[in-house]
Amino acid sequence: MTTEINLLAILSIVFFFGGGLSIALRLFALPENRTPPRMLGITMGFIALAFQALALYGELITPVGLNLSIFNVSALVAWTMVLLLLLSSLTKPVENLGILLLPGAGVAMILAIRFPHLRLLHDSESLGLNLHILISLLAYSLLTLAAVQATLLAIQDQHLHNRHPGGFVRALPPLQTMETLLFEMIGAGFFLLSLALLSGFLFLENLFAQHLVHKTLLSILSWIVFGTLLWGRFRFGWRGRTAITWTLVGFLMLMLAYFGSKVVLELVLGR
């Protein structure tokens, strides 16, 4: 990374952690204590995204193609997740998810600075393939956001069952609202994942080639899990722990599909 890109990355990291801290202070403060304004954490998040976008642009766009190394992709996914969260927080009470996502984006940026691997997608690649990659990243980002939402929902459900509604849970929206938001995220993510699979079949020569078969199978299994969950919600009213479990299982499969091979190839085998 150049000095300019390093500076932009460091500024994004500072604002990501600052935004996460601001949200945390609101979540964990006692009722009688003064807390930061709600918009402070959101604003700091948007500023961090601006700095991160400039830094990532300099790293992702190279003269010979896109640099899609594992840590660059992780930072790009984190950027997309935070952007979706902050935009949603302007109209819905979901900014508390930022207590996990904003510092997580900061960590992703630290790793991108610390381990500047090179894995190029050359300019000669087709527009269809680039479109497939973009839709796939959006689908993964949204379903990761759903997984974070499911985790918070599990914590909230556990606290309420144990009759400990104060502290962290006190700052979350009502359980029904949290579930509604979860299924909205899953529905949108499932739609994007469907488009990602369809575009893969259309624009990739062989989705079941040796280097792609595990990604394809795990993505299809994840699609089946999320599709079954949405059908169960519509047909049987699935909710609570059933919805949480299915969401996390689907996300785990998707995470292995997207990042499993990258971890092995780039970090273990050094290719």
Interhelix angle 127-161/98-114, rounded to 10 degrees, is 140
Give me the sheet containing 120-122, strands edge to edge: 61-62, 65-67, 120-122
What single string gives the DSSP state of each residue in 49-88? HHHHHHHHHHHHEETTEEE--HHHHHHHHHHHHHHHHHHH
Q: What is the mean pLDDT of residues 67-88?
A: 86
Give me 182's structure tokens.
Answer: 């979860």
Residue 10 has pLDDT above 90, yes or no: yes
Residues 157 and 241: beta-carbon distance below 8 Å = yes
pLDDT band at 186 (very low <50, low <70, confident <90, very high): very high
Residue 124 has pLDDT above 70, yes or no: no
pLDDT digit string, tens, across residues 22-36 = 988 887 765 556 778
* CA 202/CA 219 separation, integer angstroms: 16
pLDDT digit string, tens, across residues 130-167 = 788 878 888 998 999 899 889 988 888 887 777 665 55
| Phi, psi at 167, each rounded to 5° | 60, -125
Residues sharing a CB contact under 8 Å with residue 258, sequence separation 6 or more, in sequence order: 136, 140, 215
* CA 120/CA 129 separation, integer angstroms: 13
pLDDT digit string, tens, across residues 205-261 = 666 655 567 788 889 999 999 999 999 999 999 988 999 999 999 999 998 887 766
Residues 86 and 49: beta-carbon distance below 8 Å = yes
Q: Is the pTM of this model over 0.85?
A: no
Give me 153's structure tokens.
Answer: 């929902």
User: How distant, in Å, are the alpha carbons of 99, 112, 245 from that of 180?
Assistant: 20, 34, 16
* CA 121/CA 219 separation, integer angstroms: 21
Residues sharing a CB contact under 8 Å with residue 142, sequence separation 6 or more, in sequence order: 81, 84, 185, 188, 189, 192
The distance in angstroms from the start CA to the end CA of the chain is 20
